[in-house]
């Protein structure tokens, strides 16, 4: 039977004598042994001549071949003789390596030059073998050829052993672990001195050449596993870039040497006379004075190599402590100097105005330039005011681009109007001395001085509050409970109209301090909103005045007086002086209010969440008497009860503080503890149940009390009775006195007047809402003791510790400080509303009166002294109205 040989089988070798044959024969099977059936291919291996024969069978032919083998084995059939030509056509594959040779696994693809004539020498790959330079490429190739020839000569000169001399090849030991791997050597198809670029970029060609080079430097896989991980080689582009950078550096160094060697042209120095030296001294003095007066004038851009710290936007970490403190002190000194100089300038301007109005300048009537000197001095004063308040004027004019304003806008507009009036007065000085027109320099200098004093007050408040922030004492941040549904349920049954509950918790850092401290108050915001409106009204009045009286100078003076009367003189004082007093008052009681955002955060608060231990701190609970009912293990039972009270954070634990200190190292382990509403504590210690509470708690656990009348004898207004039982046995009866804390009592009295309620979480059955109201003398409906579920929520939010919290309101942990600060916030908001009403009324009334008098009479009817008195009166009224009702 003949089988077709398919061409898509494995690569095969054919003998030259059998090249023209087309079929193979299976008659050469030496044994009639039954072979397993295969669907595609059968392989017969011959270990004698190391040949592999292949046959291709179809399923039908395979079945027939199997039957034929059975018949041949039984002797029922004989094989027909085959032609010798067909026997010669046997396809065989000879093994390339000797038996037992292991092929390396890291050779994963076939290569054309696997049968290399010369053995491969593993060379160092630290050097890039790409012939970029033609000369170096030829030399490189010659060195490689010489190295291979020398290697062949060494092999020929090497002495051979007996086996090699007989058989002509080295002896091979079966079963050895020798690994053979033939690695192709990378080389060009022919010796070339250049690289031809047909298409693509040069970098792609070079990269591909370099990759081929790395493949040629493969390593025989017989080395150890840990040696396979080689260091990553730098790329060709990286190496070339390093060489280029090195050449550029050498070129620059050579250029510098040439520049240094060149002769330097020195210009002859000019002789400086005594006038030049005097000019330098005056210039230096003026520069120092300008730096002291004008802020941010002595700041230079930071250099890259210096270690100077950049200005921080806010107090962000403890590392910024000294820097922020230094900046605050520097701002305070600058504002203090500017305020002092502003008041001196105001006194000078007011003196000139009084002299002009009271005919004081008549003594100089003989001098023809007296009006010009008077106007020039006023212009000089106005220029000095502009230098002092340059930052205010610039910051006030910027928002006018979008027809908006801030607290400095009205002041800036008035300065521009007065400056225009002063410039015109230089050309017409006679119209402003003993005439109908006036110069309003004194009004503007007073407004700028008061504005600076308001800024100084703000910085002083920030400076005082920062001492509280910078202290190393523990800080507690006040927060508002944000779950409205739970807050409403907590306040049910009290007099609170809405559910805004404040509490405090410990924090590591108080953030956003400067941002909150410098935030504008409602007085500043209101003046900023009114500034564009007053500007439009002032321009309108000036235009109407010019049409009515046909006078350009009169219209300019009307614009100046309208802009001056539109300045809210108490815009900063009305908000910052009361806030400074409120902040200092809070600091005395251990609390810190940063700024107006703190007031706005807590002004609508109507309840405070506290723990019972804060209402009855250490020293407020004292033990009067202890009556024992058992004689066995009393000390152990009392120690277990004290440990449970400490674990539950009960206020009664302070009465057993001496016992806890003496046995601090021997305290029993509390397995669990639970508080029963209005009953007491139930805890487990060492497998024993311990009860600490009132009589109802013992009745619930069926513990009998022999003499029930003793409780009535001991219990009165201040005294309370607590039972202690262990393992179902009554141990003791503790009679204790609960006294209110004096500071907390005073603060709760003030808080009740401002509508604050008290929410208490407790683990002491003796502390009830009626007892708290009775001890602290407050209305019972303003106090509520939470049940177990809400008390757990209260304890969780009050006991948590945060890494960073916003510095709206901070304390040292005392509940009296928190109540005092929140009460101050509520009172301040009420006073601020009164001050705003007074300020708005005075500003609107002044604008209307001034416009009416200017249009119906003349500008001459409004003198400088009259306007000054009006503005000072309403400024004082706005400030005093906020101080009448003390927080």
pLDDT given at position 300: 44
Phi, then psi, of 328 in degrees rounded to 5 = -65, -45
Phi, then psi, of 433 in degrees rounded to 5 = -120, 115
In 134-217, DSSP assigns E strands to 179-180
d(CA 354, CA 136): 99
d(CA 374, CA 378): 6
Task: Using DSSP bridges, classify how beta strands 102-103 and 179-180 pair: parallel, antiparallel or unpaired.
Answer: parallel
Q: Is 31 exposed, middle or buried (0-12, 13-18, 19+ CB in 10 A)?
A: exposed
How distant is the alpha carbon of residue 550 from its chain centre? 63
Assigned token pair, 203 = 């970098």
Assigned token pair, 757 = 């309620």
pLDDT given at position 37: 44
pLDDT given at position 667: 87
Assess contact for 643 and 670: CB atoms under 8 A: yes
Task: Using DSSP bridges, classify how beta strands 475-480 and 501-507 pair: parallel, antiparallel or unpaired.
Answer: antiparallel
Assess contact for 376 and 426: CB atoms under 8 A: yes
How distant is the alpha carbon of residue 437 from its chain centre? 59
- Report which secondary-structure segment, H or E, holds 219: none
d(CA 764, CA 653): 10
In 104-202, DSSP assigns E strands to 179-180
d(CA 54, CA 672): 83
Considering only CA atoms, which of 83, 89, 86, 85 is closest in space to residue 14? 89
> Which residue ranges of the chain lie beneath pLDDT 70?
1-60, 75-244, 256-313, 359-368, 707-710, 716-717, 885-887
Phi, then psi, of 47 in degrees rounded to 5 = -85, -10
Alpha-carbon torsion angle 102, 104, 105, 109, nearest 10: -120
pLDDT given at position 631: 76
pLDDT in tens, 805-831: 999 999 998 999 999 999 999 988 888
pLDDT given at position 457: 93
DSSP code of 5? P
Query: In sequence order, which residues have a C-beta less than 8 Å from that of residue 248 and are 6 or more positions away?
Result: none
Query: In sequence order, which residues have a C-beta less than 8 Å from that of residue 860 and are 6 or more positions away?
Result: 435, 436, 437, 438
pLDDT in tens, 198-215: 444 555 665 666 666 655
Q: Is 692 exposed, middle or buried (0-12, 13-18, 19+ CB in 10 A)?
A: buried
Residue listed under structure tokens 């059955």: 765
d(CA 347, CA 256): 63
d(CA 438, CA 431): 9
Considering only CA atoms, which of 701, 665, 669, 703 is closest in space to residue 687? 669
Q: Name the β-bridge partners of 805.
A: 510
Considering only CA atoms, which of 830, 831, 835 is closest in space to residue 526? 835
pLDDT given at position 16: 41
Angle at 532 between CA 529 and CA 537, to 5 degrees: 125
Query: In sequence order, which residues have a C-beta less than 8 Å from that of residue 368 and are 6 or more positions away?
Result: none
What is the pTM for the complete model shown? Answer: 0.64
Assigned token pair, 376 = 């020039």
Q: Is 220 exposed, middle or buried (0-12, 13-18, 19+ CB in 10 A)?
A: middle
Considering only CA atoms, which of 517, 515, 502, 505 is closest in space to residue 475? 505
Q: Is 258 exposed, middle or buried (0-12, 13-18, 19+ CB in 10 A)?
A: exposed
Query: In sequence order, which residues have a C-beta less than 8 Å from that of residue 490 and are 6 or more positions away?
Result: 499, 501, 607, 609, 759, 784, 786, 790, 794
Considering only CA atoms, which of 205, 224, 875, 148 is closest in space to residue 567? 875
pLDDT given at position 346: 92
Instruction: Output b/e per residue, 844-877; b: 16+ Cβ within 10 A.
Output: eebbeebbeebeeebbeebebeebbebbeebbeb
Helix (H, G, I), strand (E, B) or coil at 637: helix
pLDDT given at position 125: 44
Considering only CA atoms, which of 30, 35, 28, 34 is closest in space to residue 3? 28
Phi, then psi, of 663 in degrees rounded to 5 = -115, 35
Task: Using DSSP bridges, classify how beta strands 729-738 and 719-726 pair: parallel, antiparallel or unpaired.
Answer: antiparallel
How many Cβ atoms sit within 10 Å of the Cβ of residue 408?
28
Could you please report the per-residue DSSP string of 508-536? S-EE-HHHHHTPPPHHHHHHHHHHHHHHH
Could you please report the per-residue DSSP string of 840-868? HHHHHHHHHHHHHHHHHT-GGGS-HHHHH
How many Cβ atoms sit within 10 Å of the Cβ of residue 84?
7
In 575-705, DSSP assigns E strands to 591-593, 607-611, 621-628, 670-676, 680-685, 688-693
Angle at 870 between CA 868 and CA 874, to 5 degrees: 120
d(CA 726, CA 733): 12
Assess contact for 215 and 186: CB atoms under 8 A: yes
- To the nearest 10 degrees (0 to 180), the angle between helices 573-588 and 441-470 is 20
| Helix ranges restricted to H, 677-759 | 695-700, 709-714, 742-753
Considering only CA atoms, which of 242, 216, 202, 46 is closest in space to residue 123? 216
Q: Is 14 exposed, middle or buried (0-12, 13-18, 19+ CB in 10 A)?
A: middle
pLDDT given at position 369: 74
Phi, then psi, of 524 in degrees rounded to 5 = -65, -45
pLDDT given at position 14: 42
Q: What is the total residue count of the chain? A: 887
Q: Measured between alpha carbons, how far is residue 1 from residues 23, 37, 56, 59, 62 in Å?
A: 10, 17, 11, 14, 11
pLDDT in tens, 736-794: 988 999 999 999 999 988 889 999 999 999 899 999 999 899 998 999 999 888 888 89
Considering only CA atoms, which of 444, 435, 432, 356 is closest in space to residue 867? 444
Cα Rg for the chain, rounded, in angstroms?
51
Phi, then psi, of 738 in degrees rounded to 5 = -105, 115
Assigned token pair, 485 = 């549904």
Assess contact for 519 and 527: CB atoms under 8 A: no
Residue listed under structure tokens 């290697």: 151
């Amino acid at each position: 039977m003949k089988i077709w040989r398919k061409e898509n089988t494995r690569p095969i070798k054919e003998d030259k004598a059998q090249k023209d044959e087309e079929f193979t024969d299976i008659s050469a099977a030496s044994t009639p042994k039954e072979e397993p059936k295969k669907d595609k291919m059968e392989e017969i291996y011959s270990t004698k001549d190391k040949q592999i024969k292949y046959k291709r069978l179809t399923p039908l032919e395979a079945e027939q071949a199997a039957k034929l083998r059975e018949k041949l084995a039984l002797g029922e059939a004989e094989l027909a003789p085959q032609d010798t030509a067909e026997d010669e056509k046997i396809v065989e594959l000879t093994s390339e390596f000797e038996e037992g040779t292991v092929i390396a696994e890291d050779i994963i693809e076939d290569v054309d030059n696997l049968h290399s004539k010369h053995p491969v020498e593993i060379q160092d790959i630290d050097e890039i073998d790409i012939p970029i330079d033609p000369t170096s490429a030829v030399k490189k190739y010659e060195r490689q050829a010489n190295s291979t020839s020398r290697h062949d000569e060494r092999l020929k000169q090497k002495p051979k052993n007996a086996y090699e001399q007989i058989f002509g090849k080295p002896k091979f030991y079966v079963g050895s672990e020798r690994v053979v791997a033939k690695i192709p050597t990378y080389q060009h198809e022919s010796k070339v001195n250049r690289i031809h670029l047909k298409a693509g970029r040069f970098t792609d060609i070079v990269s591909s050449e370099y990759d081929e080079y790395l493949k040629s430097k493969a390593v025989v896989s017989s080395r150890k596993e840990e040696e396979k991980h080689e260091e990553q080689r730098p790329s060709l582009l990286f190496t070339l870039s390093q060489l280029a950078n090195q050449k550029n550096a050498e070129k620059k160094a050579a250029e510098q040497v040439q520049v240094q060697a060149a002769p330097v042209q020195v210009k002859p120095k000019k002789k400086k006379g005594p006038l030049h030296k005097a000019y330098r001294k005056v210039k230096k003095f003026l520069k120092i004075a300008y730096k002291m007066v004008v802020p941010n004038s002595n700041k230079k851009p930071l250099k890259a190599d210096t270690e100077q710290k950049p200005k921080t936007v806010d107090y962000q970490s403890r590392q910024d402590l000294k820097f922020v403190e230094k900046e605050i002190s520097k701002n305070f000194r600058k504002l203090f100097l500017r305020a002092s100089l502003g008041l001196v300038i105001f006194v000078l301007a007011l003196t000139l105005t009084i002299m002009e109005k009271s005919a004081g300048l008549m003594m100089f009537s003989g001098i023809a330039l007296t009006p010009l000197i008077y106007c020039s001095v006023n212009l000089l004063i106005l220029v000095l005011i502009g230098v002092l308040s340059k930052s205010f004027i610039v910051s006030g004019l910027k928002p006018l681009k979008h027809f908006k304003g801030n607290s400095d806008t009205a002041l800036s507009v008035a300065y521009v109007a007065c400056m225009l009036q002063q410039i015109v007065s230089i050309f017409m000085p006679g119209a402003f001395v003993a005439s109908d027109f006036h110069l309003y320099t004194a009004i503007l200098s007073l407004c700028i001085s008061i504005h600076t004093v308001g800024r100084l007050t703000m910085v002083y408040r920030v400076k005082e509050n920062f001492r509280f922030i910078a202290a190393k004492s523990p800080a507690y941040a006040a927060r508002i409970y944000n779950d409205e549904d739970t807050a409403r349920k907590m306040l049910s049954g009290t007099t609170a109209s809405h559910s805004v509950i404040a509490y405090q918790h410990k924090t590591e850092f108080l953030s956003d301090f400067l941002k909150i401290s410098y935030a504008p108050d409602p007085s500043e915001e209101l003046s900023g909103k009114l500034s564009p409106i007053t500007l439009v009204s002032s321009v309108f009045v000036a235009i109407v005045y010019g049409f009515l009286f046909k006078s350009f100078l009169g219209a300019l003076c009307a614009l100046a007086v309208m802009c001056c009367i539109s300045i809210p003189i108490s815009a900063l004082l009305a908000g910052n002086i009361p806030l400074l007093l409120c902040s200092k008052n809070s600091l005395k009681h251990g609390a810190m209010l940063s700024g107006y955002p703190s007031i706005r955060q807590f002004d609508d608060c109507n309840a405070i969440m506290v723990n019972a231990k804060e209402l009855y701190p250490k020293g407020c609970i004292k033990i009067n008497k202890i009556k024992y009912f058992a004689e066995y293990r009393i000390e152990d039972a009392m120690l277990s009860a004290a440990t449970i009270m400490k674990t539950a954070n009960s206020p009664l634990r302070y009465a057993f503080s001496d016992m806890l200190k003496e046995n601090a190292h021997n305290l029993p382990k509390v397995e669990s503890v639970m508080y029963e509403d209005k009953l007491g504590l139930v805890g487990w210690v060492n497998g024993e149940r311990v009860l600490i509470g009132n009589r109802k708690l013992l009745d619930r656990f069926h513990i009998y009390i022999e003499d029930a009348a003793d409780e009535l004898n001991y219990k009165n207004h201040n005294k309370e009775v607590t039972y202690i039982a262990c393992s179902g046995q009554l141990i003791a009866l503790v009679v204790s006195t609960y006294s209110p804390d004096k500071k907390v009592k005073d603060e709760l009295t003030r808080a009740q007047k401002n509508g604050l309620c008290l929410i208490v979480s407790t683990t002491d059955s003796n502390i009830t809402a009626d007892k708290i109201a009775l001890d602290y003398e407050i209305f019972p409906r303003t106090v509520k003791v939470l049940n177990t579920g809400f008390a757990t929520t209260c304890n969780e939010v009050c006991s948590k510790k945060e890494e960073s919290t916003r510095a709206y309101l901070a304390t040292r942990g005392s509940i009296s400080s928190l109540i005092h600060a929140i009460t101050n916030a509520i009172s301040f908001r009420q006073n601020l509303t009164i001050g705003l009403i007074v300020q708005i009324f005075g500003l609107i009334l002044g604008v209307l009166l001034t416009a009416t008098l200017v249009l119906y009479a003349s500008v001459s009817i409004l003198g400088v002294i009259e306007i000054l008195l009006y503005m000072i009166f309403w400024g004082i009224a706005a400030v005093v109205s906020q101080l009448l009702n003390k927080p």
